[in-house]
Structure 1
Amino acid sequence: MPHPEIPQLTTPRLRLRAMTHADWPDYAALMMSERAQFMGGPFDQPRAWGMFCADHAQWDLLGCGALMIEDRTTGRALGQVAINGGPLFPEWELGWLLYPAAEGRGLAFEAASTLQNWARETRRLPTLVSYVDPGNHRSRRLAERLGAVQDAAASRPDPADLVYRHFGTPQGTAEGAGMG
């Protein structure tokens, strides 16, 4: 697959942009903290680095991946939103994370809904899911606010996760779905 163009998407408050090495320290701090508990963490530094690199590499390999959520006014990175695929994900997954200082302002909804629209309109993905830890009530509410409904029959990477389906019905896997 030729190198895809990593999109830059904007909202009134946010810029969703490609990851850079400068984003690593804040990402690592979150992933190595107790706040990563709902994502299978906390992780050690090598594992967090591998996840950071995989988030970016998916653009080259799958035509989707992670984008940093940046405040358009200050330029400060606030977290990440992603369309994840590949062998670790049974279906295309819409995922998000916010750094602690960015929570409670509707930024995750703004970023996730923007990337959700991109996935539907530009990538023409027939469906997305979000894998959510049952104890992560904030992410469960966000998935529902995005219009997703629980899909108990869907495959999941962690049997304990809830699966929220954003639109459509399953039509192939993230690993085997058409990339173009």
Structure 2
Amino acid sequence: MATHQLPIPGTAPTLTTERLRLRPIVLDDFAEYAKLMASSRSEYMGGPFDTAAAWGLFCHEVALWHLAGHGGLSVELRSTGACVGQVEINHGPLFPERELGWQVYEEYEGNGYITEAAGALLGWAFSELKVTTLVSYVDPNNIRSVAVAKRLGGVLDPSAQKQDEGDLVFRYTQRY
């Protein structure tokens, strides 16, 4: 069960789970983020990206908190403080609907961290933002992200508008 601290308007909250702390993104998080975005692992997101493009995406995660009341959070291990990736709720001109997204740094894959973190952010969005639905746009070749979306309860929505032509769109709805 995730706990959360209510945000000050325009600022990112801090959410905690049993193993993780989802916290506001800080400048020191950029080096690992840029490394991921420059790698072949970002191909499923339209990459690889050069440093300038990665910086724009990174800043988008932060700016959305002020513009839309949601955005990105860095995911760190409560036991060590190591940053293992990011989760985010995206929207704006790049996304047809509010999107639940995630990135995990390679050395932390396979531990369930992103499923745990994305689940906490999804719960926060339903309880605090009062959204009734979110989607995840997933490249069909990204088997790990398809599995995360399914573990989170996402259901394929073939009628949903896609971010990119080949995307699978997984829809999440609040369960009462």
TM-score normalised by L of structure 2: 0.92
Residues 31-42 of structure 1 mapped to structure 2, 5 A cutoff: 31-42=37-48
Deviation at 1:4, TM superposition (A): 1.9
- Partner of 1:122, secondary structure, is helix
- In 2, the alpha carbon distance for the partners of 1:167 and 1:3 equals 25
- In 2, the alpha carbon distance for the partners of 1:107 and 1:3 equals 27
Does residue 121 of the first structure (1) align with residue 127 of the second (2)?
yes
Does residue 81 of the first structure (1) align with residue 83 of the second (2)?
no
Q: Which runs of 5+ in 1 are unaligned?
A: 169-180
Match of 1:178 in 2: none
Match of 2:160 in 1: 154
Does residue 110 of the first structure (1) align with residue 133 of the second (2)?
no
Match of 1:11 in 2: 17
Match of 1:130 in 2: 136
- In 2, the alpha carbon distance for the partners of 1:75 and 1:57 equals 24
4+ long deviations beyond 4 Å: none
Of residues 134, 137, 145 in structure 2, which corresponds to 1:139?
Answer: 145
Deviation at 1:140, TM superposition (A): 0.5
Amino acid at match of 2:41: R
Deviation at 1:5, TM superposition (A): 3.1
User: What is the percent sequence identity of the aligned residues?
Assistant: 51
- In 2, the alpha carbon distance for the partners of 1:115 and 1:126 equals 14
- In 1, the alpha carbon distance for the partners of 2:80 and 2:151 equals 27
Amino acid at match of 1:121: S
- How many residues are aligned here? 167
Does residue 100 of the first structure (1) align with residue 106 of the second (2)?
yes
Deviation at 1:85, TM superposition (A): 0.7
Higher relative contact order (CA 8 A, sep 6+): 1
Deviation at 1:3, TM superposition (A): 4.4
Greater shift in the superposed pair: 19-28 or 4-13: 4-13
- In 2, the alpha carbon distance for the partners of 1:12 and 1:101 equals 20
Greater shift in the superposed pair: 28-37 or 159-168: 159-168
Alpha-carbon deviations, 1:6-58, whole Å to 9, x = none?
Answer: 11000111000000000000000000011101111000111000000011100
- In 1, the alpha carbon distance for the partners of 2:55 and 2:146 equals 26
